[in-house]
Structure 1
Amino acid sequence: MRAARALGRRIAVRTALVILGVLGLSAAGAFALYGWVFENYPDAVASPQAWRPQSVDYVALASAAVVALIGATVAGLQLARRLVMPLASLSGAARAIADGDLSARALAGDRSFSETADLVDDFNLMAARLETLAADMTTWNASIAHELRTPVTIVKGRLQAAADGVLPLDREMILTLLKPVDALGRLIEDLRVVSLADSGRLQLRLTPQDLAQRLDDVRALVGAEAEAEGYPITWTTPATVVVCDGDRIQQAVLALIDNVRRHADPGPVLVSLTADERFAVIAVEDSGPGLPDAMTQSVFTAFKHGSGENGGTGLGLAAVRAIAEAHGGSAHYLTGARLGSRIEICLPAVLQVRFQITHAAMDLSKIEAVPNPGMTTPY
């Protein structure tokens, strides 16, 4: 505030000096004009002796100067207050944020000057986003620590029991230990995908891929296990070729199925693949109960979904969206025909070939990728 008061005084002094300068120039200009008239048109006006200033004229001139100075000082201080107060508030809020108080905000004052008011509003918007980012980072750190701790604790406990001779370290034990290790690997990869996508550095290996074959690989990985847990999956996957990163697409579908096994009620699951000349859509639909309306807007936001008693962070769904958007597509949450959750991955058909021949007769290496610009999402 000391700097603000000093700036206000400087504005007031300079305003007063301007007023004095204007008065001085006016007086000098008047005398110069009168002198020119007296010299060139002596008969047009009274004698110069009659125009000579008297003491009363000097008093009136001095009084006018004093009144002008007072008015200029008051106007300058008012101008300084309206201009300086938002800037001083902005400076104080910036220092507070630099010291770690992300809740600090600047005041725009009476908004007499729209430029300074807009500056304060933009600063407050930036501060709000910084505060949200810091809060999200804290949540991320806590959630990641929790998710990493769970499989590590399971593995450590089993290995400790095996080391103490309580449990045998046989094939069944090793298979049991592989499950939390696999979960840990998927969590790390999902976190990596989301982080790379947020920084704009998620790279894809785009090649012609038969999505049906990729989904068959997913079925071989999780189909039997999901059915054993009460989630029999029906696969409707006609042969469809698009240019995409097949590994990333598999990762996204695995994340959707894992999300069903974590949060949906046991029941039939439908995995479908549909396509036309513009889009290929992979959909995973469960048997319910679906999500409350309040959660549907944040379903693809990391650590905003799935924090209930069934575990999970929503990180897998965030990775699904990141993968879809990296392909130039999108991910959407819908209500399925059985009132369950239906999540769709929409991929733009940069190249898409539908065929009715067997996979063995298909030579994907001979397919040439052709860009398809100007594409818009169907949603």
Structure 2
Amino acid sequence: MKIRLHYKLFAAILAAILVVVVYMTLVMQWSFNRGFLHYVSSVEYEQLKRVGTELEIIYKKHDGWSWLTDDPIRVAEIIIGSYADRKQKERFLERLRGNGRGSRMLPSGPRPAELPPSLLPRVFLLDEKKHTLFGFDPGQSSVDLIELLHENKVVGYVGLYPARYLSEKLELVFANQQKFTLMLIAAAAVLIAAGLTFPITYMLTRPIREMAAATRSLAKGRYQTRIRMNSSDEFGQLAQDLNDLGTILEKNQIARSQWIADISHELRTPLSILRGKIEALQDGLYQPTEELYRGLHREVMHLGLLVDDLYQLSLSDLGAMSYQRVEVQPCWALEQAISLMEAELTDHGLRLETEVDIDNDASLFADNERLKQLFTNLLANAIRYTDSGGTIRIHVGCEKQHLVYTFEDTAPGVSDEDLTRLFDRLYRVEASRSRELGGAGLGLSICHSIVTGHNGTIEAEHSPLGGLLVRVRLPLSE
């Protein structure tokens, strides 16, 4: 059977409280027994002092202890007379005097291993030489004695063996009442603790239940699930982390859906064109002209480029995009890319300006082919979205421990909203112009992957020339 955390926490706290209550009860009971026995001993000591005073009076009256021989019961009567309980006193005196058996009730001889608990058997009387006159002989026992004086001379001693446990009825009743009260208090404390602990543990585990429910909801694909949590403790932080996770999953789901829709659209458009033209050829509506074949070839090339770009991005996502890094010259890949794009620059009527401001010994630890792909994509993007007659400016410089490549172009520019999304996959500033300009919205995403793979950064901002500025930072070789 599955036990919920609420009940486990309740049981653990209640068990801890129960252990503490039991411990405190035992300690208090031990302390009470010890203190009460000490109190009883103090009361008995006061009784013994009164007994000693009576014995001093009788000693003075008879001028010695000879009267003990004729009336040994007299000492027992004095001891019993010091009892506070009148009924108990009368009962003991009746037993002592009845049927002539009183002398047999008197304690005498060596001290037994276990003394009776009542006061009478524990009192003893010694003469001035500490010879036993009444009671059990103390022998070498260490017992506190009260001196008996006559005319400022010690004529005897009276002592009391300490009680090891309670014996008097009233004392036992009082002690038992206190123990019973202590047990009631302990039981009440446990019940109150249980009554308070159950709702407290329920409240403490409520955030856990809410987060568990939210986690199950996220696992079922309901990524819009959020947890309301106002606390700033660990639970609050965990709830915030789960909310952040839900936000990321929701964004990823939306992005994935958009990605699939965009890919489907990008593939469907050239395929539809190819299908339409091929079917028209089959039906005899089009004649197989060179211009028609060029159009078909253009669509096939567009599909090939799109598939290649998607493949490159998938390699980057899987961490499988390979980099053959070696010490390279900072401008070799850039020069190769410019050489490849010269024809397109001329066709679009664009002017290219380059400026290199780096030390001769500067080098990069990079993959030249990937850098060539990076710069080619950046140049192609600038050519594609710069009006005819415009200018593209490339600057290469050093900034601390990085090499900085800056690509700028003239109008048209991009909005602030578009700037933040330029490196998103399949994102185009003007989707309606995608077919005309030939872009699928993957070039800058690939650039971002290549730069990240070289431990660099890439960012976009408005260009002073009126168009777009893309800045690439790559770490210099150590």
**Which TM-score band (shorter chain)?**
0.7 to 0.9
For the Cα contact (< 8 Å) 2:306–2:440, is it kept in 1? no
Among 1, 6, 9, which residue is 1:8 paired with?
A: 6
Among 126, 143, 148, which residue is 2:262 paired with?
A: 143
TM-aligned CA deviation for residue 221 of structure 1: 4.2
- Give the 3-state SS of the residue equivalent to 1:131 in structure 2: helix
For the Cα contact (< 8 Å) 1:232–1:269, is it kept in 2? yes
Among 286, 308, 326, which residue is 1:167 paired with?
A: 286
TM-aligned CA deviation for residue 215 of structure 1: 4.6
Please say which structure displays the higher CA radius of gyration: 2
1:269 alignment counterpart:
391
Answer yes or no: is 1:30 the counterpart of 2:24: no
1:178 alignment counterpart:
297
1:85 alignment counterpart:
206
- Give the 3-state SS of the residue equivalent to 1:286 in structure 2: strand
- One-letter code of the match for 1:27? T
- One-letter code of the match for 2:205? V
Q: For 1:115-137, what per-residue CA distance to the aligned partner results, in whole angstroms no more than 9, with x for missing partners?
A: 33333332222222222222221
Q: How does 1:213-224 map to 2 (within 5 A)?
A: 214-215=333-334, 217-219=336-338, 221-224=340-343
CA 1:34–1:216 in structure 2 vs 1: closer, same or farther (change >3 Å)? Answer: closer
Q: How does 1:86-101 map to 2 (within 5 A)?
A: 86-101=207-222
Q: Aligned equivalents of 2:343 and 2:256: distance in 1?
A: 37
CA 1:118–1:344 in structure 2 vs 1: closer, same or farther (change >3 Å)? Answer: closer
Residue ranges of structure 2 left out of the alignment (5+ in a row): 45-162
Cα-Cα RMSD = 3.6
Q: For 1:270-296, what per-residue CA distance to the aligned partner results, in whole angstroms no more than 9, with x for missing partners?
A: 252524595544443322121112222
Q: Aligned equivalents of 1:214 and 1:68: distance in 2?
A: 82
- Give the 3-state SS of the residue equivalent to 2:473 in structure 1: strand
Q: Aligned equivalents of 2:364 and 2:11: distance in 1?
A: 73
- One-letter code of the match for 1:234? L
Among 350, 365, 369, which residue is 1:232 paired with?
A: 350
For the Cα contact (< 8 Å) 2:25–2:183, is it kept in 1? no
Which deviates more from structure 2 when the two are superposed, residues 245-254 or residues 58-67? 58-67
For the Cα contact (< 8 Å) 1:267–1:286, is it kept in 2? no
Q: Aligned equivalents of 1:191 and 1:334: distance in 2?
A: 26
Answer yes or no: is 1:342 the counterpart of 2:472: no
Which deviates more from structure 2 when the two are superposed, residues 183-192 or residues 285-294? 183-192
Q: For 1:75-115, what per-residue CA distance to the aligned partner results, in whole angstroms no more than 9, with x for missing partners?
A: 2123212221011111111221222212223344x638x23
1:294 alignment counterpart:
417
- One-letter code of the match for 1:197? S
- What's the TM-score once normalised by structure 2's chain length? 0.61
- What's the TM-score once normalised by structure 1's chain length? 0.75
Residues matched between the structures, number: 346
Q: For 1:20-52, what per-residue CA distance to the aligned partner results, in whole angstroms no more than 9, with x for missing partners?
A: 443433333333344456778963467844553
- One-letter code of the match for 1:134? Q
Answer yes or no: is 1:331 the counterpart of 2:465: no
Q: Aligned equivalents of 1:14 and 1:345: distance in 2?
A: 59
2:276 alignment counterpart:
157
TM-aligned CA deviation for residue 65 of structure 1: 3.6
Q: Aligned equivalents of 2:223 and 2:320: distance in 1?
A: 28
For the Cα contact (< 8 Å) 1:273–1:280, is it kept in 2? no
- One-letter code of the match for 2:449? A
Q: For 1:327-365, what per-residue CA distance to the aligned partner results, in whole angstroms no more than 9, with x for missing partners?
A: 233222233232111223333343xxxxxxxxxxxxxxx
For the Cα contact (< 8 Å) 1:324–1:345, is it kept in 2? yes
Q: Aligned equivalents of 2:355 and 2:272: distance in 1?
A: 38
Q: Aligned equivalents of 1:19 and 1:324: distance in 2?
A: 61
Q: Aligned equivalents of 2:472 and 2:249: distance in 1?
A: 31
Q: Aligned equivalents of 2:264 and 2:414: distance in 1?
A: 26
TM-aligned CA deviation for residue 19 of structure 1: 3.9
CA 1:39–1:318 in structure 2 vs 1: closer, same or farther (change >3 Å)? Answer: same
Q: For 1:51-82, what per-residue CA distance to the aligned partner results, in whole angstroms no more than 9, with x for missing partners?
A: 53547546643552454234212321232122
For the Cα contact (< 8 Å) 2:382–2:392, is it kept in 1? no
Q: Aligned equivalents of 1:322 and 1:261: distance in 2?
A: 21
Q: Aligned equivalents of 1:58 and 1:280: distance in 2?
A: 86
